[in-house]
Amino acid sequence: QMSETIKMHKTLAFRRLLSSSSSCKSNHHGAPHRYYPNERKGNKNNKDIVVRRHNSTRRWFLGNHYFSCTFVSPPPPPPPPTPLPFLHGGRCYVSYLHSHSTHWGRAPLLGRQTLPHLQNAITTIGNTAKYHDINKQQRQQQDDDTQNVPATTASEEPVVSPILVTTKLSDEDLRHLDKTTQRLLETPVGAMNPAGMLEFTTSIYSWHSRAISNPYNTQVFDKCKQLFDRMMEEAQVNPFVHVDIETINRVLDTWRIIAIAHAPTKFQKGGSRSTSPPSDSIVWKGSKVLQKIIECSSSKNACDVRIDFPNDKSFNMILDAYAKFGLANEAQLVLEEMNQLATREGQPQCRPDTITYNTLLSAHCNSIVLYRQGGIGTQHAEKAMDLLEDMLQVYNDTGNLDIKPDVISFSTVIAACANAATLSPSFAQVAEDILKQMKEMYEESSSLMEQHGGGNGGGGGGGGEWLGLRPNHVCYSSAINAWSNSGVPDAAMRASLLFAEMQSQGDVDVPSMTSLLEAYGNSSFQDGNGFQQAESMLNQMIQTAQESGNMAFMPNVITFTALIDSLAQSLNRSLESDGGVAARKAEEIFKQMEDLYSRGVDIVKPSTITYNALINVWSKTRTKNSGEKAAYWLSKMEENGDVRPNDATYATVIDAYARCGNPSKAEEILLQMIEKAKEDGSSGSGSDSCKPNTICFSAAINAYANVGKPNDAERLIKMMKKLHDEEEYTDLKPDSYCYNGVINAYIRSRENDRLDRCLHLLDEMDTLHVSTTVSYTAVIESLAKTKRTFINGEHVCDIATRLLERMWSLFYDGRESVMPTAVTYASVINLFAKSQRHDKAEYYLEELEKKYQELEYDYLRPNTICYNTCLSSFSKASSKEEALRAESILQRMQERADDAFLKPDAFTLTNVISAWANSNNPERAEAILNTMQTMYENGDISMKPTTVSFGAVLHAWARAGNIERAEKIVEHMESLMHLEGFEEMRPNAVIYNILINCCAKCSSPAAVHKAQNIVDKMRKYKDAGYSLASPNIITYNSVLAALNSGSGTDSYPEACKILQEIEEARSLDPTMNPTAITYTSFLRILAKSRVPNKSVIAERIIENMETNPNDHKLIPNNLTYDAVLKVCSSLPTSDPTLQRHALVLAVKTLTKMQQLPHIVPTSFTYYEFFTALSKLTKGEELLKLIERSFDDCIKAGVLDDKILRVLAQTTPKDFLQKLLKLNTANNIHKVSINGLPQSWSCNAKRSITMKSQRTNEQIIHNTGRSKIRR
């Protein structure tokens, strides 16, 4: 379409030249060709072309016609150019400078007098003819004309000078220009004459031309800026030097062209960059030049300095570049500065107009795509809508046509909503509403026009002021894209309705049909038929075009590419791989393109972007061979001479290898790029460059990060730094994404020093000014997950606090990319919550609230996750005060219930329930649970109780020993599970285990019977297929504990049955392996039994436990050995063989306990041992064993009164007197530890209970609760 437009305007310009009676003038002595229309505002009939060369006359021959050219002396600088719009928003504009620019071919400085120069001039004039700006009083006519102007969506790739035909400078010309530039820069300040200044100006124009022909070379702007700085310096001391507005805007346009060429590409947009460009980026240099011009032209001695003040075009060029980079906030500041200069500082030429506002709208639109991050992207869409409303309000209040919104304004806002629909589907409806608003305004104006008999169509009479707002295909396509991006179930249907409305207006074209195809393709994630409908529509378009012969309806390469890309998007939304189905379908579509192209349909010829889309589908497939398939299509591109792979192609292949876990192949592709760039001799400039960039390195780094190889990932960072030192890779610097990939690699790895390396990398990022919020948050989150308490002698909590303070310090120093967010604070709060530092967790929650109130940044808005994380620290509270603090936090959330970000949910109340349950207040815990259930029954689905909620209340009643209330909780859960909406309330093994533990604490035969009934119920659930309620090892351990606590019954037979059932179950379920707690409980039951050979059974059990050292859960502990001693001391038989066996077992057990490093004999240990000795032996052997063991007992400091009583009952007085080292034997049987040395009993109060030995089992129990919570 652009080619056809250029041809048409060439013809138009040619005819105007033929009808012109004016002569062509030029200057001979090396001054530049300067072709420009000699137009003035309000004078559109003057079509003269002036060619300044030198004093002579020459006839130029073009086709069959001659043109007379008179060569005159060098003229004064030309008048300021008539303003022209440029590319922004949803429409293709031409540069501000193109109408009065030099020819866009060779450098004017070289003075070549060739015919192509004049042809280029004619081309330039013809191209600018249609897009030339008109008088602002005729703005309404421009609005009407926009219905026929080709438009593009705001999210399209930037186009540099789209309507210009340029000629590249030869190597000889460039060398000449470089030498001239160097010579001019070396000219002494103040020695410049008019001829020299003209040479300065023409050199700047030449570099501007060079920027158009090679916009990727940043050195072009550097040269241009050096010349301009030298001119500015000369103007401040030389009264004959004048820096006019045309030269100023020429320099700024040079910067704009190069900056736009370096704007993020579509591949980079897909990466969703969340930070601003680095401080040394080209995008920031234009504003610095503009500020310097303002300072010089408005200085105190400005009356003596001939430097023009910038105008609205100057600022608009800054805005245009910012828009392409998505720097909406910076663009807003530029707009505010323009208003201030125009209203307060007497510079009316800086007043913003519709084009200015449209460019700012475009900046907001692109910000959503380039820097999307949660709610940030949607904010830019809202700001775009607010800005449009402000334009409408000001126009309605003042009638100022300069800021009257046009169709471009509305279409750009619709495009912004379409981009935001990816983040929030509600914006799709907003986009459609804006489209309807446009239609209503147009129809109302059209109706008023008919009533007034036509009118003038302006803002005054006739009522037709909004006739220019008739929605065009761009508006409709953007609205269709909004539904396509929303991903809602009825998106395809809503998009098809808009398409049908376009058809009724006869405004359908291939781009709009492409948008509908994308909507159908993207809907395939919710509806499996979506892609089939898109494919059917594509085939129908092909059939219609072929049957009618109207190729206008033939889908083009963009259509096919969009359909292939929709497959990649559907894979991106899916959590699982489809096994390559989508990729094979993409290959079928690609082959269909090749078939059509082979039959002469040139518009479907696959492009680089098409290949990239196909490779991207394979990348998203995540199969084992996805990397190889991506590399295969890369090789097909390299074999195809017409299509060249670019950096995005290679980056996508690297990403494919990264996703399938093949980092070595990813690095191999990266090295291929480096070698290919060297072979091509390319510096990486241009869209076809294969020079690796930061995105390629970032993808390769992530490949190593995904497999946990941080050292290799960091090695790629070093490779980037080494390449940066080479001349060809000066722009290659590790950015935040590269470093974040390495940090992620260390976090995923098992390196012992991974956190030390992460902190070191973070310091390195700060030095290079590339650290971001993501970097800091990732490191703080890893600190919360580590099991280490100290790192390099510093507590992990102190490290997190230090990092948070550093983030705020950097933010207040101007580094907005390092601003802490609510996610950062949630990680800090989580760290303190896990450290059981409730006060610090609550402190940082309050600090987050204060920071949000102070700065009013949505990134800092406290949310439910932050509060829940803080409450999780109180959920393990052990006091009433801490439970009250937890409930006060809940009340704060309830007071702000209007804020959707702070709405309490089921996890919130569950944490508060746990706080009350752990503080021994089951009544309050159950009351909150009942409130939670009532809210859910009333329609609040976020308050749906979980088994964790009921389990917390059940645990509270179990701790209180109230088995009746505990049973009612379980019965209530069993009744709820049959109701609709409460199916997940079915009790599981964790719930039943808590109830069994409650029975174990009751120490009654009835409680033991209840525990056995619960196990029987669990067995029935298992047989019925409900595996979550199947008995596990904790269940059986709890039953054994209940049997042990039962009084008046011999539980040994039942215990044997349970132990046998465990042994049978372990063959089918590895998790049913018995633990030390299992055998300890069994040994205790055995000790209470009347089994004669119980010592033999105990010995066999302990030997079995000791022969499995690799099973840490089976290693005997203090309680296990104490239970063995209990068995020995309670031997019910007088059989001397069994008694001797029990005595030997007791001595061996105590000796082993004294030797093992993880075992500490306690008072209970020696009490049972001395009791066993008193029952199993007599005489001299007894006294020797007691004497030897008593010395060990007092050395351990565990002597107590119970041991003294046993010794007094067992040994003679004189032996006891000697043993206790007393002077007299009087009343020796009444002696207590208070009359003995304190060191003998200093550790006697320390005891090891069953609770302290259940650590491993508690871990298993909590793991089960965590799975249910997830």
C-beta of residue 88 within 8 angstroms of C-beta of residue 40: no
Range of 103-117, 1192-1206, 1234-1248 with top mean pLDDT: 1192-1206
Q: What local confidence, expressed as pLDDT, does residue 977 receive?
A: 84
Q: CB under 8 Å to 467, separation ≥6 — which residues?
A: 140, 143, 144, 442, 445, 446, 449, 457
- Is pLDDT above 60 for 82? no
pLDDT in tens, 355-368: 999 999 999 988 88
Q: Region 426-441: what's the mean pLDDT?
A: 92
Give the span between the Cα atoms of 1041 and 888, in whole angstroms.
39
Of 420-434, 702-716, 717-731, 1078-1092, minimum mean pLDDT range: 717-731
Q: What is the pLDDT of residues 934-949, one digit of tens each?
A: 998 888 888 889 889 9
Closest CA to 1104 of 1126, 1061, 1074, 1130: 1074
Which of the residue ranges 895-899, 1143-1147, 1234-1238 has the most confident prediction, judged by mean pLDDT? 1143-1147
Candidates 1024, 1017, 1013; CA nearest to 1054 is: 1013
Please state at what angle helix 710-724 crosses helix 754-768, rounded to 10 degrees: 20
pLDDT value at 21 more than 80: no
Query: pTM of the entire structure?
Result: 0.65
CB 713 within 8 A of CB 704: yes
Region 537-550 average pLDDT: 83
Among 932-946, 1019-1033, 1044-1058, which is the least confidently predicted range?
A: 1044-1058
Percent above pLDDT 90 for the chain? 34
Structure tokens at 615: 């490779």
952-1007 pLDDT per residue, tens: 999 899 888 888 899 999 999 988 888 887 878 888 899 999 998 888 887 777 88
- The predicted structure's pLDDT at residue 151: 33
Does residue 455 carry a pLDDT above 60? no
Res 742 pLDDT > 90? yes
Q: What is the pLDDT of residues 833-867, one digit of tens each?
A: 998 898 999 999 999 999 999 988 888 999 999 99
**How far apart are alpha carbons 885 and 591 in whole angstroms?**
66
| 1247 vs 516 pLDDT, higher one | 516
Q: In DSSP terms, which residues pair with 62 in a beta bridge?
A: 65
With H, G, I as helix, E, B as strand and everything else as coil, classify residue 1225.
coil
Least confident of 81-90, 597-606, 789-798: 81-90
pLDDT in the model for residue 11: 38
The listed range with the strongest mean pLDDT (371-375, 605-609, 1226-1230) is 605-609
In sign, the C-alpha dihedral spanning 1192, 1198, 1203, 1204 is positive
Q: Could you tell me the pLDDT band of residue 524, with boundaries at 50, 70 and 90?
A: low
Mean pLDDT, range 1006-1029, rounded to an integer: 86
Angstrom distance (rounded) from CA 55 to CA 206: 23
Query: CA 719, CA 712: separation in Å to the nearest integer?
Result: 11
In angstroms, rounded to a whole number, what is the distance separating the alpha carbons of residues 1200 and 401?
100
In the predicted structure, residue 692 carries a pLDDT above the cut 50: yes
Whether 1168 shows a pLDDT value over 70: the answer reads: yes
- CA 316 to CA 681: how far, in whole Å? 36
Specify the range with the lowest mean pLDDT, choosing from 60-74, 587-601, 815-829, 855-869: 60-74
DSSP SS3 for 60: strand
Q: In the predicted model, is pLDDT for residue 244 greater than 70? A: yes
What's the rounded mean pLDDT across residues 234-247?
Answer: 86
Tell me the per-residue pLDDT of 97-124, one tens digit each, with 9 for 90 and over. Answer: 333 332 222 223 222 232 333 233 323 3
Residue 576 has pLDDT above 80, yes or no: no
Q: Are strands 24-26 and 36-37 parallel, antiparallel or unpaired?
A: unpaired
Q: What is the DSSP letter of 580?
A: T
How far from 982 is each of 599, 979, 985, 1269, CA to CA, in Å? Answer: 62, 6, 5, 16
Please state the three-class secondary structure of 1083-1112 as a single string: HHHHHHCCCCCHHHHHHHHHHHHHCCCCCH
For residue 1243, the model assigns a pLDDT of 86
> With bands split at pLDDT 50, 70 and 90, how would you rate the model's confidence at 371?
low
367-381, 656-670, 1179-1193, 1253-1267: least confidently modelled range: 1253-1267
Q: What is the pLDDT of residue 587?
A: 93
Supply angle C-alpha 1141, 1142, 1143, rounded to 5: 90
Edge-to-edge strands of the sheet including 56-62? Answer: 24-26, 65-71, 56-62
Mean pLDDT highest for which of 50-64, 213-227, 485-499, 1035-1049? 213-227
Q: What is the pLDDT of residue 409?
A: 94
pLDDT of residue 1229: 66
Residues 6+ apart with CB under 8 A from 226: 181, 185
Share above pLDDT 70 across residues of the chain, in percent, rounded to a whole number: 79
pLDDT at 464: 72
Across the range 131-153, mean pLDDT stands at: 34
The whole-number pLDDT of residue 901 equals: 79
Residue 495 is predicted with a pLDDT of 84
**pLDDT tier at 47, thresholds 50, 70, 90:** very low
Q: Which structure tokens are listed for 388?
A: 């449009």
CB atoms within 10 A of CB 617: 31
Cα 73 to the center of its chain, rounded Å: 63
Average pLDDT value over all residues in the chain: 78
pLDDT at position 1225: 63
**3-class state of residue 86 by DSSP:** coil
Using an 8 Å Cβ cutoff, are 1244 and 1197 in contact? Answer: yes
- Assess whether pLDDT exceeds 70 at residue 300: no
Confidence of residue 271 (pLDDT cuts 50, 70, 90): very low
Q: How far apart are CA 1187 and CA 1204, in angstroms?
A: 13
Tokens of 717: 């960072």
pLDDT confidence of residue 192: 80
CB 643 within 8 A of CB 608: yes
Q: Is 487 left (phi over 0), alpha (psi -120 to 50) or beta?
A: left
Amino acid found at 40: R
Dump pLDDT digits (tens) for 769-801: 899 999 999 999 999 988 888 998 899 999 999
Q: Pick the range with the lowest mean pLDDT from 65-74, 285-294, 1120-1129, 1177-1186.
A: 65-74
The residue-averaged pLDDT of 1226-1230 equals: 68
pLDDT recorded at residue 867: 93
Instruction: Give burial (CB, 10 Å; 0-12/13-18/19+) of 814.
Output: exposed
* pLDDT higher at 29 or 219: 219
